[in-house]
Amino acid sequence: MSKKKGNSADLAPSRHEKKGFGQIVLGFFLLLYTLFCGLPIVLVFIAAFTDEKTITKNGFSFFPEKWSMAGFNAVLKYGKQLATSYGITIFITVFGTFLGLLVMAMFAYSISRKEFRLSKFLSVYLLIPMLFNGGQLSGYIVFTSYYHLKDSLWLLILPLCVSTMNVIILRTYIVNSIPSELMEAAKIDGAGEYRTFFQITLPLLKPSMAAVGFMMATAYWNDWQNALLYITTDSKKPLQLLLVNIQKSIEFLLNNSNVPAAARAAMGGNIPQYSATMATVVVVIAPIMVVYPFFQKYFVKGLTVGSVKG
């Protein structure tokens, strides 16, 4: 089963000639959209290093009058905690994504089997939690008092591990993009269900798993709600929670007119709100820009070419 990567050299020669005007126009629009996405990001980076007073006076600017590390320092103050939080977040993201992909892929595979009569029930079973939610209080009581999972990392991993949308996406992909002839062929060869799944379906599922994995990783990376409610030990607090806390406490101090002057004075007067918030964003997105290309290689066309022929 040879895998052919989509390569312009392999395609018909006419494609080469068409690499011209159309591509330039396409490239232009893509570039435009990239700028549209990218400019605010650049602004975030610049603002993180801008002096707070300049921001208040002149607003955000790509060419600030004065630079300052005050915003970053407000975040780096929690340096040691930051490092631990990075570790926790990375661990949860990787572990949760892999666990979720495995578990959901298996589930999606089962319910994609048309001859399996329970699949209908399982599909409905899957859809209901997407619509109905018991609420924060109920979840809190169940997880802490019944399951005794308070302060456990499992509560950061499990809630995001299985999601209806992702399972449906995997199922749709299996049904539409993986030819059933392949699986029938394997059956004829005498392979059992597990073998069919792990050896035939799973490899072909890679693009979809990469997409779902990406979406899961995003969800894990961005999540702070679960940690807010359930985690009490500092060494288990994920990145976003720490950053949200920093943002919220600054905002709270500055905005809440009920908090007496003494409390604000205790923060030392100089509270760099904007630059600190931007600094927290930089801390969050820097690793993403490094890691994402890893996912991209799965979106290459032709990954599955040849599998039918093989």
Partner 1 sequence: MKGFLENTWKHRAHVVMALPAFLILFFIMYVPMAGLVMAFKSFDYTKGIWASPWNGLDNFKYLLASKTTFVNMTKNTLIYYVIFTALGTFLNVVLAIAIDQFMFKKMAKTMQTIMIIPVFISYAAVQFIVYAFISTDTGILNHALGLSTRFYSTPSMWPAILTIVKMWNSVGYGSVLYMSVLAGIDTALYEAAEIDGANKWQKIKHITIPALVPMITVMLLLSVGNVMRSDTGLFYQVTRNSGVLYSTTQVIDSYVLNAIFKNSNFGFTAATSFFQSVVGLLMMLFANGMVRKIAPENALF
Partner 2 sequence: MKKKSISKLLSGVLVAAMAVGLLAGCGGSSDSTATDTTAETTETTDTAAEDTTAADDTTAAETTDAASGDKVVINVTRTTFNLATPDSAQVQKVQDAVNAYIGDKINVEIKLTDIGSGEYTDKANLALANNEINLLWTASWESVIGTNDLVPQNAVYDLTDLLPGTDLYNSMDASQWEATKYNGKNYFIPVYKDNVEGYDIMARKDLADKYGWDMSSVKSLKDIEPMLEDAKSEGLKYPWLTQKTAMFYRLYINDFDFFTADAKANWVAVDKNTNEVVDTILTPQYKEFCTLMAEWAEKGYISEDDVTKTTTDTTTQTQDWAFSWWTDIPVNAEANSRYNQEVVMAPVTDRWAHSTSALGSCYCVTANSTPEQAQACIDFMGLLYTDSKLADLWTFGIEGEDFTYDENGQVAQTSEKYNHSMWESASATIVTPVAGEPADKASLYEAFNGGAKTSPAAGFRFDKTPVEAQFAACQNVFETYGFPLENGGFAAADIDATIEAYQAALDEAGYQDVLAEFQAQYDAWKAQ
Residue from 13, 20, 22, 260 binding partner 2 (CB under 8 A) = 260
Q: Does 81 bind partner 2 (CB under 8 A)?
A: yes
**133 CB-side CA count, 13 A:** 10
Non-local CB neighbours of 303 within 8 Å, separated by 6+ positions: 3, 5, 206, 207
Residue from 21, 59, 63, 188 binding partner 1 (CB under 8 A) = 59
Q: Which of 159, 162, 169 is nearest to 209 (CA)?
A: 169
Non-local CB neighbours of 4 within 8 Å, separated by 6+ positions: 10, 302, 305, 306
* Contacted by 144, from partner 1, partner 2, none: CB < 5 to 8 Å by type: partner 2
Residues 84-143 that bind partner 2 (CB under 8 A): 102-103, 106, 136-137, 140-141
Task: Return the residue matching tokens 């997105």.
Answer: 285
CB-CB contact of 88 with 239 (8 Å): yes
Residues 279-298 that bind partner 1 (CB under 8 A): 280-281, 284-285, 288-289, 292-293, 296, 298
Residue from 237, 240, 278, 283 binding partner 2 (CB under 8 A) = 237
Measured CA distances, 95 to 154, 216, 287 (Å): 11, 11, 17
Residues 27-46 that bind partner 2 (CB under 8 A): none
Q: Which of 64, 29, 30 is nearest to 44 (CA)?
A: 64
Residue from 88, 111, 153, 178 binding partner 2 (CB under 8 A) = 153
- The smaller minimum CB distance to partner 1, of residues 213 and 236, is found at 213
Give the C-alpha separation, 85 to 94, whole Å. 14
Q: Does 220 bind partner 1 (CB under 8 A)?
A: no
Q: Does 162 bind partner 2 (CB under 8 A)?
A: no
Q: How many CB atoms lie within 10 A of CB 203?
A: 15
Q: Does 222 bind partner 2 (CB under 8 A)?
A: no
User: Which positions lie near partner 2, rule CB under 8 A?
Assistant: 52-53, 55-57, 77-78, 81, 102-103, 106, 136-137, 140-141, 144-155, 192, 194-195, 197-199, 228-229, 232-234, 237, 242, 244-255, 257-267, 269-274
